[in-house]
């Protein structure tokens, strides 16, 4: 009767030991293998001329386990690669492998070239320690806190990928709070009176632009690409599906800044007559831009700059940047009692891990927010 493999005697040429096993092959050379802490059988990457050499390999592996320094051969090979791979080489390949919007790619490339690689580029991945990162972060200084936070966040993401790919034992980015950004100055929202003066001081063709930037909390890039076909006057809804960006003098049409930016916004009722009149005068065609440049293309921020600066001065708010109008709109909407999820949905704004949770906010509730916004003006 045949015995099961578990009850057979040792294979011919095998040497059973307390740890691992040795085997003399037909070639006369010795092979070695052992079961690792992860219960996986690992074999020596080569055979040995002498039994003592194979035994020494097993002893070295056992010592690593006993001193809690053992890693799998796969991780070990990654670490060996990392010992010879510079951060510059890895980071450049990391950037090439990412699917990114062009503007985001150029932003990352600029950070790498100016903030990260000059100091850290020549250092191998395996040589970058928490101290290395902390000292580099300190040398960046506090003059540009947002850029500093972005640089640290990018480095942490790159090295996080290296860790996931088992090129390094751990991510050395441990500077607490380094990814957080603090505003250099607090944003002071515009009051209703300031907003009214600001709008009145603008050329007529730009008034709705500012009103939508505020009451609908839209980004400039979304407004610059807004077309008549995106406005449903029957339901009073703006469908935000695209945005325009500029890079190196080139205009590019793409999706909004984030996935949450694709949204429907209910127009506050008090704006609907103004919207209707603007469409009649400035965008009669189905696919016309609502706010075209003088030559019919996309409006650029530089074109708007001078008339907007004059208008904000007239309102007594020379500090009010165009993007601050969006912040003003968020504050006004919050004053209606809108929940955080409803505000995030209306603004098309997402945070890490939250984008999908904010997508479910109901359009009916957004309509209530829009109506409450109008009551601020009419009451």
Active site residues: 219, 323, 326, 349, 358
Q: What residues are paired with 263 via a beta bridge?
A: 240
What is d(CA 317, CA 295) in angstroms, rounded to the nearest whole number?
A: 30
User: How far is C-alpha 84 from the chain's CA centre?
Assistant: 29
What is d(CA 102, CA 164) in angstroms, rounded to the nearest whole number?
A: 25
Q: CB within 8 A of 321, min separation 6: which ones?
A: none
- Is 133:155 a contact under the CB 8 Å cutoff? yes
User: How far is C-alpha 344 from the chain's CA centre?
Assistant: 17
Q: What residues are paired with 298 via a beta bridge?
A: 292
**Residue 255: phi, psi to the nearest 5?**
-80, 165
Q: Which two tokens stand for residue 177?
A: 């709070």
Q: Is 287 exposed, middle or buried (0-12, 13-18, 19+ CB in 10 A)?
A: exposed
What is d(CA 329, CA 376) in angstroms, rounded to the nearest whole number?
A: 12
Q: Which two tokens stand for residue 164?
A: 């996931």
What is d(CA 30, CA 23) in angstroms, rounded to the nearest whole number?
A: 6
């Amino acid at each position: 009767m045949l015995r099961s493999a578990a009850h057979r005697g040792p294979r011919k040429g095998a040497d059973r030991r307390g740890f691992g096993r040795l085997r003399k092959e037909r070639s006369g050379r010795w092979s070695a293998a052992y079961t690792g802490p992860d219960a996986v059988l690992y074999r020596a990457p080569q055979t040995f001329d002498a039994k003592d050499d194979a035994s020494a390999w097993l002893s070295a592996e056992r010592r690593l386990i006993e001193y809690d320094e053992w890693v799998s051969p796969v991780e070990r090979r990654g670490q060996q690669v990392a010992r010879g791979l510079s951060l510059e080489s890895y980071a450049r390949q990391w950037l090439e492998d990412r699917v990114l919007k062009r503007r985001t790619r150029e932003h990352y490339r600029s950070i790498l070239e100016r903030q990260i690689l000059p100091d850290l580029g020549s250092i191998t991945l395996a040589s970058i320690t928490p101290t290395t990162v902390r000292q580099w972060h300190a040398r960046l200084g506090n003059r540009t806190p947002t850029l500093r936070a972005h640089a640290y966040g990018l480095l942490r993401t790159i090295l996080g990928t290296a860790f996931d790919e088992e090129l390094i034992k751990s991510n050395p980015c441990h500077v607490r709070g380094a990814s957080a950004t603090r505003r250099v100055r607090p944003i002071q929202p515009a009051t209703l009176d300031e907003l009214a003066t600001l709008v009145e001081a603008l050329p007529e063709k730009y008034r709705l632009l500012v009103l939508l930037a505020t009451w609908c909390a839209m980004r400039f890039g979304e407004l610059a690409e807004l077309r008549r076909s995106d406005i449903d006057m029957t339901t009073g809804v703006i469908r935000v599906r695209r945005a325009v960006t500029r890079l190196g003098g080139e205009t590019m049409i793409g999706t909004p800044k984030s996935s949450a930016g694709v949204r429907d916004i209910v127009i506050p009722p008090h704006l609907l007559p103004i919207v209707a009149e603007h469409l009649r005068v400035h965008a009669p065609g189905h696919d016309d831009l609502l706010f075209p440049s003088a030559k019919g293309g996309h409006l650029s921020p530089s074109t708007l700059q001078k008339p907007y600066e004059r208008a904000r001065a007239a309102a007594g708010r020379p500090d009010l940047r165009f993007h601050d109008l969006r912040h003003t709109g968020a504050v006004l909407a919050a004053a209606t009692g809108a929940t955080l999820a409803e505000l995030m949905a209306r603004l098309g704004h997402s945070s890490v891990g939250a984008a999908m949770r904010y997508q479910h906010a109901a359009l009916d509730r957004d309509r209530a927010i829009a109506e409450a916004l109008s009551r601020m003006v009419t009451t």
